[in-house]
Amino acid sequence: MQKNKLISYLPYLIVIIAILSLFNMNGSGVSETLSYQELQKTLKNETIKESQISIGNNVTTVHGVYTKDDRQVGFTSTIPSTSDEITAVIGQLENSKLTIVDADASNLFLDTLITLIPFVFFGAFAIWMINRMNGAGANSKAFEFSKSRARLEGKIRVRFDDVAGCDEEKQEMKEIIEYLKYPKKFEKMGARIPKGILLVGHPGTGKTLLAKAVAGEANVPFYSISGSDFVEMFVGVGASRVRDMFKKAQQTAPCMIFIDEIDAVGRQRGAGFGGGHDEREQTLNQLLVEMDGMEDNTGVVVIAATNRPDVLDPALLRAGRFDRQITVSLPDRKGREAILKVHARNKHLASDIDLGALAKRTPGFSGADLENVLNEAAILAVREDSEEIHMQHIDEAIDRVMMGPAKVSRTYDEKTKKLVAYHESGHAIVGLFLENAQVVQKVTIIPRGQAGGYNLMTPKEEKMMNTKNDLLATITSYMGGRVSEEMFFDDVTTGASNDIERATNIAKDMVTLYGMSDLGPIKYNAGTENVFLGRDYNSPNNVSGEVAYEIDQEVRKIINGCHDMARAILEEHREQLIAIAEALMEYETLTAEQIQQVVKGESIAEDFGSTETAAPKAEAAPADTEETDW
């Protein structure tokens, strides 16, 4: 912003400097034109320092400089070109530095050019200023409106070493690098490299970073553009930009085109209420034509990324266009550890921090989440003037990323504090004593975000799929807070609203999607997609009124069964629940190790030292949160 301001003031500075220079030139000396009589007086009375005589056929011009009142005074005069006059003037100027010039030998063209240069310069400057004031620069960009918005990045510094947690995906991309480096090898074998590669995955899994790493490893130009950069209000602009983008790419082949968020322009045509967007569909049609018209082995590889592959047009995914689809999944434990090592390169971590243990405690985190956690931890360390990042900084950073900063100023009265403590203790007891439930890692009644308290749990082991018992255990853990309120207060609060919502969604999926009910293995949730995200408005609904009633009955049966199971567990471990609740009311936050000590009846006062309000050292990172809305 500051640089643009200086550039806008530059023309005015040039004008001021030019005017001051003219004043300086005029102020440094005086020039005058003398008549013949005045010339005679000047030659007689003044000491001439420099002089020049230009002898012409009829008139001789005399130039000279003399000093008057400490100023240089120049003069010009003419005399008749007679031998007597010229001899007399030369005699009077013989004591000065005299130069005799033949007027007929002077270069008229050069003299005229030298005289006109200042006027040409100031005229051009005036025209430029007028055009700038009239906005000619902005209007000229109107001709570039239909040009490609793709940004060309020549030198990509990202390499595969900077991308972690997706080893299989990198292996799939290595042959693209080989093709960009050695296309003759593939031509000799008769192989056709995929024209388009579609990267699919959750947000933050590293799709854009992986595409940059491919261009960096292959050392080729990298064209980057977003799907929304194609679509404009004016029909035909998007299609023109697509043509221009592929034209530029073919001129710099081998190269790579990366289209981020391609679902913005590649959604199904003719879908949704009203038939879709005409400009977007024309842009998609042009993209299909350009990719289908690309010759084999032209040296242009198109890579696109999206987290909504379900709304893409089928013609975009057929062979010959985006004919290879690579799913960039959330990283596993080894992948998370590798990602943490990459992002910890420039961080000053304490020697007691184990990245492997941290990766084990953060299932479900994407690469962007892990990078954000380490960055927040570094900010917290700087805020506390710490020279290293310690475990308490990372633990607080995880809480901030998931739930927001702690609302220390938000205080409870004693009744509300007790309600929250017993609610969260109910979740903790179910997690501790129910088989297939997730492991309780941290319980707190400190408000964060919209939650008055929360229970952080991680699965005992990472699974690719969940069983019916796993889902029932999860619903039971959600019911633990509501059951605890019923048992100890003979009343219910709004704090369990988020728990009930999550439990209901899982139960509905068990009945309508997973076939885990008495209704059998039948999918009942058709027709629930958003019609404005690439789906038809009149999608068939294969659920009759009678079946819908049976679905509601099955969902209620699952919720009620898990509710009764949670009550049975809490009744059986009533004393342990009370102990955890009292510890929460006293210390506000308990870690997994401290919860185990409380359940066993051991004291945890020494963990908090002399100041009982100090936050305990965190032992785990959250994978799931049992929120309480207060």
Residues marked active site are found at: 424
59-68 vs 71-80, strand pairing mode: antiparallel
287 touches 266 (CB < 8 A) = yes
34 touches 75 (CB < 8 A) = yes
Give Cα 416 distance to the centre of its chain.
41
Output the CA torsion sign for 404, 406, 411, 416: positive
Q: How far apart are CA 402 and CA 503, in angstroms?
A: 20
For 383, the enclosing helix (H) or strand (E) is helix 367-383
The values of phi and psi at residue 249, to 5°, are -65, -40
Q: How far apart are CA 338 and CA 401, in angstroms?
A: 20
DSSP, collapsed to helix, strand or coil, labels residue 486 as helix
Report how far apart, in Å, the C-alpha atoms of 164 and of each of 167, 327, 337, 540, 629 are: 7, 15, 9, 43, 37
Residue 242's contacts (CB-CB under 8 Å, 6 or more residues apart) are 148, 230, 283, 286, 287, 290
* Nearest alpha carbon to residue 355 among 375, 371, 339: 339
- Cβ atoms within 10 Å of 90's Cβ, excluding its own: 14
Output the CA torsion sign for 490, 491, 496, 499: positive
